[in-house]
Structure formats: structure tokens, C-alpha cells
Structure 1
Amino acid sequence: MMRHLRSIMRITWVDKVPSKEVLERTGLPSMEDLLTRKNLRWTGHLMRMSPNRLPNKSIYSQMPSVHRKRGRPRLRFKDTIKRNQKLRDIKTHSLASLSQQRDKWREIVK
């Protein structure tokens, strides 16, 4: 994406313009911001679903304890939800009530 933006704006690597500045000039969000938005949108859908639906069950279920490999544990979807909540300053206890109010949820996600 950045390569195409740079070619449209005729910015070469010799100009040494950082990617953050290219995004500011174009007014486009970063890839991290886009992924955070998509994740929060899906989280809102999950919170509004009934608890007996499969996606909701899979989020709140726990795997039986198994032997883990060495190193850092792999991120779960729950962990990314928590990280994105911190990025958008959403309190954990207010997540369920905010997601039920679609207008407020859309404002937070954008």
C-alpha cells in the first residue's frame, strides 16, 4: 500500500519521507488502525449475539490444560480484544453496555 501511495505522490526513497508523514499527507489511517477498527467491529457483533451462538461460545470457552511449547504463548482473540480496548480507552466493565448501543459503539470504533 505504501509503495503505491509513494508512487502516486511521486515520493522516492531518496526523499527520505517517513511512512507516517505519507499517511498524514493523504489523510489515510495506518494499517494498525484499520485492523483495530475491524477487530472492534467484530467484537461489537459478538457482544450483541446471544450467548448460545457458536462464535460467542468459542470466545468464552477454555481449552483443557495441555502441554505448551517453549516461548511466549500465542495471542488469543481475547487478548487482542483487551489490547484494542486499551488503545481506545474502553473500560472492561462497560464493554457489554457500550456494544449494545450501536450509535455510541460506532463512534468509539471510528
Structure 2
Amino acid sequence: EYSTLPNSIVLKRAGISSMYTILKQRCLHWFGHVVRMDDGRIPKDLLYDELVQRNCPRGRPQLRYKDICKRDLKVLGMNLNRWETLTSNRTVLRQKIMVYINLKRHLSNRQRKRGRHGNNETRGLGKKENTSVPSV
């Protein structure tokens, strides 16, 4: 018999976190790798160089790869004034990334469980008579 399983169960059985966190992990690992490269290498030059400005299109400016990585490093709790020295230490960067991924996984699982039951209760679909949303 074929049954559909939620993505969370499939990912848990495979022993991997969500695709989003895997992409963030790979992005930050590559970022650290490029920062540690010798000067004059094309990926490092592209990371640090600015593109020539033309007429600016309307709306928010496009984010650069460096901007996205800096945002992720900020989420990890790293000091952005020292981001080059922090990414140069490979083991510290890997440890921080793993702590962040495990924390996000724990919080998302907790939120998913709470949201599933909380939504049913607020709609009156749950077995409990109390229709209040559980406190955090």
C-alpha cells in the first residue's frame, strides 16, 4: 500500500535537516573557503570586487552573495566587523554552523508541533474544550 509521508518524516528518516538549512550550510562553508583563498584567485576577486554601476532599476537593490553570507553570519551571532578572521578559522566556523543548524531544527520541530495542535484548537477542531492558543 502506498502512503504519503510528510517531508519532515522523510527528512528525519534520511538523517538530514531541511533543504533550506542544507543550502545555508553549504553557502557558509563555500564562503569561508573563498575567504581563505589566496589573493588573486577569481572567486575571491569576485567576492570582494564591486560591479560597475549603471542606471539603477526601481525597487530594492539586488543582494550580493557577500550580503547574503553576512546576513547568515549575523544570524549565527558572529561579529560582522571581524567576519574575515572568523571565517578564516575553519573549525570554529563549522562548529558555529552546526550549532545554528541544530538550534533551527529544534525550533522548527517545536514550532511545527505547536502550530499543528494550536491551529486545531483555535478553530475548535481539537478535542480540548479550551480554545486558547498555548503560551510560548
Counterpart position of 1:40: 28
Counterpart position of 1:59: 47
**What amino acid sits opposite 1:99 in the alignment?**
T
Q: Quick one: distance in 2 between partners of 1:78 and 1:100?
A: 15
Counterpart position of 1:81: 69
Runs of 5+ consecutive residues of structure 2 not aligned to the other structure = 99-136
Identity within the alignment, %: 29
Q: Quick one: distance in 1 between partners of 2:50 and 2:35?
A: 18
Matches within 5 A, 1:97-108: 97-108=85-96
**2:97 is equivalent to residue 109 of structure 1:** yes
Counterpart position of 1:95: 83
- The normalised TM-score by structure 1 is 0.70
Counterpart position of 2:108: none
**What amino acid sits opposite 1:32 in the alignment?**
Y
Equivalent residue pairs, number? 95
Q: Please give the per-residue CA displacement for 1:27-58, whole angstroms capped at 9, x wherever unaligned.
A: 63122211110110011101111121111111
Q: Quick one: distance in 1 between partners of 2:78 and 2:60?
A: 26
Q: Give the number of the structure with larger relative contact order, counting CA–CA contacts within 8 Å between residues 6 or more apart.
A: 1
Q: For residue 67 of structure 1, report the CA deviation from its aligned partner.
A: 0.4
Counterpart position of 1:70: 58
- The normalised TM-score by structure 2 is 0.59
